Structure 1
Amino acid sequence: MNLQIISADSYLLRSGFIEEASELARKAGVDVQYLDFSRYDSPEEALKNPDNMNFLHAIEDDTKPRLLWFDNCDSLAPLSCSLTYSLRSQLTTRLTNNIQSVFIAKKEALDLMFNNYSAAFYHSNFSITQ
């Protein structure tokens, strides 16, 4: 079972889940990075924002264990979003398993990202919500 990419329906996650999981990861020595895509007009803007350089660096650098939170990432779901295909290349072709990514969005967006055969992340995820 490959758990490098996890997805979760934002509606079904209980309050505090991200904070609790992040704290457990930090205690285990895992670098935790969080990005709330709903704060930006586009996913490209989110990743290019100077405030998010650590998140972008974490995507590119797999030399140490990392937990990446892609929160409210509904904007990555459209099939026309080329950034999603780039992310797939970065996150699924690693020789190491140091990077754990969690994509949190509405169910409709997750279905489009992970269950549409034309999607970049088609069947690349393990869902923790049903």
Structure 2
Amino acid sequence: MAWELELTICSLITEHTPEGYLDVCRDRAKSRGIDVFNLNFNEYESPLAAFAAEENRELVATLEGCRRKTLVIFEGADALAPLECNETFWLRSFLVNSDASELVVIFLVTSEGKVRLFQDTEGAFYRDCVRLN
């Protein structure tokens, strides 16, 4: 329903998300023919390294020009919360300023990361997010 409701940017708080919830989201999206990408920032030394990694090239290309319904899940998205993280503002430019109507992005963050990423007036996604929990 996220596409019908035009929910492009969503957040989930890690500690309030039930075990297996993201697996259900991925499975249901795939069963409806929706492309699914998952990037876990905890597996990389920095957001720059994550976006530059060979295995994420298709994801980056999709972010830059999404042409069909796509669900992107960013786990460990606290890595994007620091104000000096240029990749966060790069990402915001695609999600907020372009026609991202085919794209739904879920940021899985801690409570602290949610505050810094979505509620800090200087944060990249200040007030541009729908809380899912």
Relative to the length of structure 2, the TM-score reads 0.92
Deviation at 1:53, TM superposition (A): 1.3
Preserved contact between residue 37 and residue 73 of structure 1 (Cα < 8 Å) = yes
Residues in 2 aligned to 1:107 and 1:94: alpha-carbon distance in whole angstroms: 28
Residue pairs, 1:1-130, within 5 angstroms: 2-129=6-133
Please tell me the residue identity of whatever aligns with 2:13: D
Identity of aligned residues (%): 27
Please tell me the residue identity of whatever aligns with 1:115: Q
Residues in 1 aligned to 2:97 and 2:58: alpha-carbon distance in whole angstroms: 20
Deviation at 1:2, TM superposition (A): 4.6
Instruction: Provide Cα deviations, 1:92-117, integer angstroms capped at 9, x if missing partner.
Output: 12335100000001110111000001
Aligned length: 129
Preserved contact between residue 33 and residue 58 of structure 1 (Cα < 8 Å) = no
Relative to the length of structure 1, the TM-score reads 0.94
Runs of 4+ in 1 over 3 A off after TM superposition: none
Residues in 1 aligned to 2:47 and 2:100: alpha-carbon distance in whole angstroms: 26
Deviation at 1:61, TM superposition (A): 2.1
Residues in 1 aligned to 2:99 and 2:59: alpha-carbon distance in whole angstroms: 20
Deviation at 1:88, TM superposition (A): 0.5
Residues in 1 aligned to 2:103 and 2:45: alpha-carbon distance in whole angstroms: 26
Please tell me the residue identity of whatever aligns with 1:71: E
Query: Aligned-residue CA RMSD in angstroms?
Result: 1.2
Residues in 2 aligned to 1:41 and 1:81: alpha-carbon distance in whole angstroms: 13
Structure 1, unaligned stretches of length 5 or more? none
